[in-house]
Structure 1
Amino acid sequence: MKFLIVSDSHGSTEILQELSTRYSNRVDAMIHCGDSELTADNPIMADYLTVRGNCDIDARFPDHLVKEMGGINVLVTHGHLFNVKMSLMNLSYKAKENAAQFVFFGHSHTLGAEMMDGTLFLNPGSILLPRGRREKTYALVEVESSRVYVRFLNENHEELVDLTATFSL
Protein backbone atom coordinates (compact mmCIF):
# COMPACT_ATOMS: atom_id res chain seq x y z
CA MET A 1 0.00 0.00 0.00
CA LYS A 2 1.34 3.43 -0.96
CA PHE A 3 0.09 6.83 0.19
CA LEU A 4 0.95 10.34 -0.92
CA ILE A 5 0.26 12.88 1.82
CA VAL A 6 0.23 16.64 1.28
CA SER A 7 -1.05 19.53 3.37
CA ASP A 8 -1.31 23.28 3.64
CA SER A 9 -1.14 24.16 -0.05
CA HIS A 10 -3.06 27.42 0.64
CA GLY A 11 -4.52 28.02 -2.82
CA SER A 12 -1.58 26.74 -4.83
CA THR A 13 -3.09 24.66 -7.61
CA GLU A 14 0.02 24.11 -9.71
CA ILE A 15 1.82 21.84 -7.23
CA LEU A 16 -1.35 19.81 -6.52
CA GLN A 17 -1.84 19.25 -10.23
CA GLU A 18 1.80 18.30 -10.60
CA LEU A 19 1.57 15.79 -7.73
CA SER A 20 -1.61 14.34 -9.18
CA THR A 21 -0.06 13.94 -12.62
CA ARG A 22 3.10 12.39 -11.19
CA TYR A 23 1.56 10.03 -8.63
CA SER A 24 -2.08 9.22 -9.45
CA ASN A 25 -1.09 5.91 -11.06
CA ARG A 26 1.78 5.19 -8.66
CA VAL A 27 0.06 5.36 -5.27
CA ASP A 28 -3.07 3.78 -3.83
CA ALA A 29 -4.32 6.97 -2.16
CA MET A 30 -3.57 10.67 -2.42
CA ILE A 31 -4.45 12.52 0.78
CA HIS A 32 -4.71 16.26 1.42
CA CYS A 33 -4.68 17.14 5.12
CA GLY A 34 -6.47 20.46 4.73
CA ASP A 35 -5.92 24.14 4.06
CA SER A 36 -6.09 23.66 0.32
CA GLU A 37 -8.23 26.82 0.24
CA LEU A 38 -9.96 25.29 -2.80
CA THR A 39 -13.54 24.14 -3.18
CA ALA A 40 -14.61 20.51 -3.09
CA ASP A 41 -15.74 20.74 -6.72
CA ASN A 42 -12.41 22.10 -7.96
CA PRO A 43 -11.20 19.51 -10.52
CA ILE A 44 -7.72 19.52 -8.99
CA MET A 45 -9.14 18.07 -5.77
CA ALA A 46 -10.79 15.11 -7.53
CA ASP A 47 -7.80 12.82 -6.97
CA TYR A 48 -7.39 13.68 -3.29
CA LEU A 49 -9.12 12.47 -0.15
CA THR A 50 -9.37 15.85 1.55
CA VAL A 51 -10.31 17.21 4.96
CA ARG A 52 -11.21 20.74 5.98
CA GLY A 53 -8.57 22.95 7.54
CA ASN A 54 -8.97 26.16 9.49
CA CYS A 55 -8.43 28.21 6.30
CA ASP A 56 -10.91 26.20 4.20
CA ILE A 57 -14.36 27.72 3.78
CA ASP A 58 -15.98 24.85 1.87
CA ALA A 59 -17.98 22.89 4.45
CA ARG A 60 -18.31 19.97 2.04
CA PHE A 61 -14.88 18.83 3.20
CA PRO A 62 -15.19 16.80 6.43
CA ASP A 63 -13.32 17.90 9.56
CA HIS A 64 -11.78 14.44 9.68
CA LEU A 65 -12.22 11.10 8.01
CA VAL A 66 -11.53 7.55 9.02
CA LYS A 67 -11.07 5.09 6.20
CA GLU A 68 -9.86 1.54 5.90
CA MET A 69 -7.34 1.35 3.06
CA GLY A 70 -5.57 -1.85 2.18
CA GLY A 71 -6.26 -3.32 5.60
CA ILE A 72 -4.98 -0.21 7.39
CA ASN A 73 -7.28 2.03 9.41
CA VAL A 74 -6.35 5.63 8.54
CA LEU A 75 -7.43 8.83 10.32
CA VAL A 76 -7.00 12.08 8.37
CA THR A 77 -7.54 15.51 9.88
CA HIS A 78 -6.07 18.97 9.60
CA GLY A 79 -5.14 19.12 13.26
CA HIS A 80 -6.44 22.52 14.36
CA LEU A 81 -9.43 20.93 16.14
CA PHE A 82 -7.01 18.75 18.11
CA ASN A 83 -4.56 21.51 19.06
CA VAL A 84 -1.63 19.74 17.34
CA LYS A 85 0.62 22.77 17.62
CA MET A 86 0.74 22.15 21.37
CA SER A 87 0.60 18.38 21.70
CA LEU A 88 -0.44 15.21 19.91
CA MET A 89 -2.32 13.98 22.99
CA ASN A 90 -5.82 14.97 21.80
CA LEU A 91 -5.11 13.52 18.37
CA SER A 92 -3.83 10.30 19.93
CA TYR A 93 -7.11 9.95 21.83
CA LYS A 94 -9.01 10.36 18.55
CA ALA A 95 -6.76 7.77 16.94
CA LYS A 96 -7.47 5.28 19.76
CA GLU A 97 -11.23 5.94 19.55
CA ASN A 98 -11.10 5.02 15.87
CA ALA A 99 -8.49 2.22 16.10
CA ALA A 100 -6.36 4.17 13.62
CA GLN A 101 -3.01 2.68 12.69
CA PHE A 102 -2.02 5.75 10.67
CA VAL A 103 -2.84 9.39 11.45
CA PHE A 104 -2.15 11.97 8.78
CA PHE A 105 -2.47 15.65 9.71
CA GLY A 106 -1.18 19.13 8.93
CA HIS A 107 -1.83 22.60 10.37
CA SER A 108 1.58 23.30 11.96
CA HIS A 109 3.42 23.34 8.59
CA THR A 110 6.13 21.35 10.39
CA LEU A 111 6.97 17.94 8.97
CA GLY A 112 7.48 14.90 11.12
CA ALA A 113 6.74 11.23 11.54
CA GLU A 114 6.71 9.18 14.70
CA MET A 115 5.29 5.91 15.93
CA MET A 116 3.42 6.17 19.25
CA ASP A 117 1.73 3.17 20.84
CA GLY A 118 1.66 1.34 17.51
CA THR A 119 0.19 4.27 15.55
CA LEU A 120 2.07 6.25 12.92
CA PHE A 121 1.53 10.02 13.27
CA LEU A 122 2.67 11.89 10.18
CA ASN A 123 2.63 15.56 9.24
CA PRO A 124 3.91 16.11 5.67
CA GLY A 125 4.81 19.74 6.39
CA SER A 126 3.56 22.38 3.99
CA ILE A 127 3.89 22.27 0.22
CA LEU A 128 3.71 26.10 0.17
CA LEU A 129 4.75 27.70 3.49
CA PRO A 130 7.08 25.41 5.48
CA ARG A 131 8.11 26.00 9.07
CA GLY A 132 11.26 24.67 10.69
CA ARG A 133 12.93 23.95 7.35
CA ARG A 134 13.22 25.81 4.06
CA GLU A 135 11.95 22.99 1.88
CA LYS A 136 8.33 22.84 0.79
CA THR A 137 7.43 19.21 1.44
CA TYR A 138 5.06 16.30 1.00
CA ALA A 139 5.36 12.68 2.11
CA LEU A 140 5.21 9.21 0.62
CA VAL A 141 4.34 6.30 2.89
CA GLU A 142 4.74 2.72 1.73
CA VAL A 143 3.66 -0.35 3.63
CA GLU A 144 5.35 -3.67 2.89
CA SER A 145 4.65 -6.64 5.16
CA SER A 146 5.18 -5.36 8.69
CA ARG A 147 7.33 -2.37 7.68
CA VAL A 148 6.34 1.23 7.01
CA TYR A 149 8.69 3.36 4.92
CA VAL A 150 8.33 7.13 5.21
CA ARG A 151 9.96 9.48 2.73
CA PHE A 152 9.70 13.26 2.66
CA LEU A 153 10.22 15.02 -0.66
CA ASN A 154 10.55 18.65 -1.65
CA GLU A 155 8.57 20.51 -4.32
CA ASN A 156 11.15 19.37 -6.90
CA HIS A 157 10.38 15.74 -5.93
CA GLU A 158 13.81 15.25 -4.43
CA GLU A 159 13.95 12.99 -1.39
CA LEU A 160 15.14 14.55 1.86
CA VAL A 161 17.29 11.55 2.67
CA ASP A 162 18.13 12.68 6.21
CA LEU A 163 14.41 12.40 7.08
CA THR A 164 13.78 8.93 5.66
CA ALA A 165 12.43 6.60 8.32
CA THR A 166 11.37 2.98 8.67
CA PHE A 167 8.91 1.79 11.29
CA SER A 168 7.56 -1.62 12.29
CA LEU A 169 3.84 -2.23 12.37
Structure 2
Amino acid sequence: MKVLIVSDIHGSLDSALAIQRIFEEEKCEKIICLGDVLYHGPRNDLPPQYKPKEVIAILNQYADQIICVQGNCDAEVDQMVLDFPILPFYDATINDKTCHFEHGHHLKMDGHVAQMVFFGHTHIPQMEEKNDTIYWNPGSITLPKNGSKRSYLIWENHLITLKDIDGNELFSFHYE
Protein backbone atom coordinates (compact mmCIF):
# COMPACT_ATOMS: atom_id res chain seq x y z
CA MET A 1 0.00 0.00 0.00
CA LYS A 2 1.20 3.50 -0.79
CA VAL A 3 0.32 6.09 1.85
CA LEU A 4 0.81 9.86 2.02
CA ILE A 5 1.33 11.01 5.62
CA VAL A 6 0.96 14.73 6.36
CA SER A 7 0.55 16.90 9.42
CA ASP A 8 -0.31 20.42 10.43
CA ILE A 9 -2.08 21.81 7.36
CA HIS A 10 -3.48 24.66 9.48
CA GLY A 11 -6.01 25.82 6.87
CA SER A 12 -3.47 26.59 4.13
CA LEU A 13 -4.93 26.35 0.63
CA ASP A 14 -1.43 26.10 -0.82
CA SER A 15 -0.76 23.03 1.33
CA ALA A 16 -4.12 21.42 0.50
CA LEU A 17 -3.37 21.85 -3.21
CA ALA A 18 0.08 20.34 -2.63
CA ILE A 19 -1.50 17.34 -0.87
CA GLN A 20 -3.86 16.89 -3.81
CA ARG A 21 -0.98 17.10 -6.31
CA ILE A 22 1.27 14.74 -4.33
CA PHE A 23 -1.53 12.21 -3.80
CA GLU A 24 -2.28 12.10 -7.53
CA GLU A 25 1.33 12.20 -8.79
CA GLU A 26 2.53 9.55 -6.33
CA LYS A 27 -0.59 7.42 -6.99
CA CYS A 28 -1.21 6.98 -3.27
CA GLU A 29 -4.07 4.87 -1.94
CA LYS A 30 -4.53 6.65 1.41
CA ILE A 31 -3.86 9.99 3.05
CA ILE A 32 -3.16 9.93 6.77
CA CYS A 33 -3.40 13.37 8.34
CA LEU A 34 -1.91 13.74 11.80
CA GLY A 35 -4.11 16.64 12.83
CA ASP A 36 -4.35 20.43 12.89
CA VAL A 37 -6.34 20.52 9.68
CA LEU A 38 -8.16 23.88 9.48
CA TYR A 39 -7.14 26.29 12.24
CA HIS A 40 -3.69 27.79 12.79
CA GLY A 41 -3.93 28.12 16.57
CA PRO A 42 -2.83 31.01 18.79
CA ARG A 43 0.89 30.11 18.76
CA ASN A 44 1.35 30.05 14.98
CA ASP A 45 1.40 32.86 12.47
CA LEU A 46 -1.39 32.94 9.92
CA PRO A 47 -0.38 30.40 7.26
CA PRO A 48 0.17 31.43 3.64
CA GLN A 49 -3.15 31.37 1.78
CA TYR A 50 -5.20 30.75 4.93
CA LYS A 51 -8.47 29.67 3.32
CA PRO A 52 -10.03 26.91 5.42
CA LYS A 53 -13.28 26.80 3.40
CA GLU A 54 -11.30 25.97 0.26
CA VAL A 55 -9.19 23.44 2.18
CA ILE A 56 -12.43 21.74 3.26
CA ALA A 57 -13.60 21.48 -0.36
CA ILE A 58 -10.33 19.90 -1.49
CA LEU A 59 -9.98 17.42 1.36
CA ASN A 60 -13.63 16.37 1.18
CA GLN A 61 -12.98 15.14 -2.38
CA TYR A 62 -10.80 12.44 -0.77
CA ALA A 63 -13.12 11.62 2.14
CA ASP A 64 -13.06 7.88 1.40
CA GLN A 65 -9.26 7.87 1.29
CA ILE A 66 -8.42 10.06 4.30
CA ILE A 67 -7.73 8.89 7.82
CA CYS A 68 -7.39 11.86 10.14
CA VAL A 69 -6.52 12.16 13.82
CA GLN A 70 -7.39 15.13 15.98
CA GLY A 71 -4.79 17.78 16.65
CA ASN A 72 -4.70 20.34 19.43
CA CYS A 73 -6.02 23.01 17.02
CA ASP A 74 -8.92 20.89 15.73
CA ALA A 75 -12.38 21.62 17.18
CA GLU A 76 -15.76 19.90 17.21
CA VAL A 77 -17.06 22.40 14.67
CA ASP A 78 -14.47 21.13 12.17
CA GLN A 79 -16.19 17.76 12.12
CA MET A 80 -19.39 19.45 10.98
CA VAL A 81 -17.79 20.56 7.70
CA LEU A 82 -15.44 17.65 6.98
CA ASP A 83 -16.85 14.53 5.31
CA PHE A 84 -14.37 12.22 7.04
CA PRO A 85 -14.05 11.51 10.76
CA ILE A 86 -11.43 13.17 12.92
CA LEU A 87 -10.36 10.39 15.28
CA PRO A 88 -8.62 10.78 18.66
CA PHE A 89 -6.00 8.29 17.38
CA TYR A 90 -5.77 5.51 14.82
CA ASP A 91 -4.22 2.04 15.14
CA ALA A 92 -3.71 -0.26 12.16
CA THR A 93 -1.38 -2.73 10.52
CA ILE A 94 0.08 -1.16 7.40
CA ASN A 95 2.74 -2.65 5.15
CA ASP A 96 3.38 -5.45 7.66
CA LYS A 97 3.90 -3.11 10.64
CA THR A 98 1.65 -2.41 13.60
CA CYS A 99 1.14 1.34 13.73
CA HIS A 100 -0.21 4.01 16.03
CA PHE A 101 -1.13 7.45 14.66
CA GLU A 102 -1.79 10.50 16.84
CA HIS A 103 -1.23 14.22 16.72
CA GLY A 104 1.54 14.16 19.29
CA HIS A 105 0.64 16.88 21.77
CA HIS A 106 0.14 14.15 24.40
CA LEU A 107 2.73 11.72 23.03
CA LYS A 108 4.77 9.66 25.46
CA MET A 109 7.74 8.05 23.74
CA ASP A 110 7.69 5.00 26.01
CA GLY A 111 5.79 1.77 26.27
CA HIS A 112 4.15 1.66 22.85
CA VAL A 113 3.25 -1.80 21.63
CA ALA A 114 3.15 -0.58 18.03
CA GLN A 115 6.21 -1.09 15.88
CA MET A 116 5.78 2.39 14.37
CA VAL A 117 4.29 5.52 15.89
CA PHE A 118 3.48 8.49 13.67
CA PHE A 119 2.85 11.95 15.12
CA GLY A 120 2.95 15.62 14.15
CA HIS A 121 2.51 18.69 16.36
CA THR A 122 6.15 19.84 16.58
CA HIS A 123 6.37 20.88 12.90
CA ILE A 124 9.85 19.30 12.84
CA PRO A 125 10.59 16.11 10.87
CA GLN A 126 11.91 13.30 13.04
CA MET A 127 12.71 9.61 12.99
CA GLU A 128 13.82 8.01 16.24
CA GLU A 129 14.02 4.40 17.38
CA LYS A 130 13.33 3.72 21.04
CA ASN A 131 12.55 0.40 22.76
CA ASP A 132 11.74 -1.48 19.53
CA THR A 133 9.41 1.27 18.29
CA ILE A 134 10.24 3.71 15.50
CA TYR A 135 8.76 7.19 15.98
CA TRP A 136 8.07 9.24 12.85
CA ASN A 137 7.14 12.87 12.45
CA PRO A 138 6.64 14.12 8.87
CA GLY A 139 7.11 17.74 9.95
CA SER A 140 4.56 20.33 8.84
CA ILE A 141 3.37 20.65 5.27
CA THR A 142 2.55 24.31 6.04
CA LEU A 143 4.53 25.87 8.90
CA PRO A 144 7.91 24.16 9.37
CA LYS A 145 9.95 25.04 12.44
CA ASN A 146 13.62 25.00 13.49
CA GLY A 147 14.86 25.58 9.95
CA SER A 148 13.15 22.48 8.54
CA LYS A 149 11.37 22.46 5.19
CA ARG A 150 7.68 21.95 4.45
CA SER A 151 7.55 18.17 4.34
CA TYR A 152 5.58 14.93 4.26
CA LEU A 153 6.13 11.16 4.26
CA ILE A 154 5.49 8.62 1.51
CA TRP A 155 5.23 5.04 2.73
CA GLU A 156 5.25 2.35 0.08
CA ASN A 157 5.72 -1.30 0.92
CA HIS A 158 8.83 -1.41 3.13
CA LEU A 159 10.18 2.05 2.30
CA ILE A 160 9.37 5.29 4.14
CA THR A 161 10.62 8.49 2.51
CA LEU A 162 10.60 12.04 3.87
CA LYS A 163 10.19 14.57 1.07
CA ASP A 164 10.01 18.33 0.88
CA ILE A 165 7.02 20.10 -0.65
CA ASP A 166 8.70 19.99 -4.08
CA GLY A 167 9.13 16.21 -3.95
CA ASN A 168 12.85 16.21 -3.18
CA GLU A 169 13.94 13.28 -1.02
CA LEU A 170 15.28 14.38 2.36
CA PHE A 171 15.61 10.96 4.01
CA SER A 172 14.56 7.38 3.38
CA PHE A 173 14.35 4.26 5.53
CA HIS A 174 13.98 0.69 4.27
CA TYR A 175 12.95 -2.11 6.62
CA GLU A 176 12.56 -5.87 6.24
The alignment's TM-score, normalised by the length of structure 2, stands at 0.72
What is the deviation of 1:167?
A: 5.5
Q: Secondary structure of 2:17's match?
A: helix
Q: Structure 1 168/128 Cα, relative in aligned 2: closer, same or farther at 3 Å?
A: same
What is the deviation of 1:128?
A: 0.5
8 Å CA contact retained: 2:34, 2:101: yes
Equivalences for residues 5-16 of structure 1 within 5 A: 5-12=5-12, 13-16=16-19
Equivalences for residues 124-143 of structure 1 within 5 A: 124-143=138-157
Aligned counterpart in structure 1 of residue 102 of structure 2, from 77, 99, 107: 77
1:62 aligns with 2:87: yes
Q: Secondary structure of 1:74's match?
A: strand
8 Å CA contact retained: 1:33, 1:51: yes
In structure 2, the gaps of 5 or more residues are: 39-54, 80-84
Aligned counterpart in structure 2 of residue 48 of structure 1, from 53, 58, 66: 66
Partner of 2:23: 20
Q: Structure 1 80/158 Cα, relative in aligned 2: closer, same or farther at 3 Å?
A: same
Q: Secondary structure of 2:86's match?
A: coil
Partner of 2:51: none
The alignment's TM-score, normalised by the length of structure 1, stands at 0.75
1:92 aligns with 2:95: no
Alpha-carbon separation, structure 1, partners of 2:125 and 2:115: 19
Q: Structure 1 33/45 Cα, relative in aligned 2: closer, same or farther at 3 Å?
A: farther
**What value does the CA root-mean-square deviation take over the aligned residues?**
2.5
Q: Secondary structure of 1:92's match?
A: coil
> Which letter does structure 1 place at the counterpart of 2:161?
R
What is the deviation of 1:134?
A: 4.3
> Which letter does structure 1 place at the counterpart of 2:167?
H
Count of residues in Structure 1 that have an aligned counterpart in Structure 2: 149
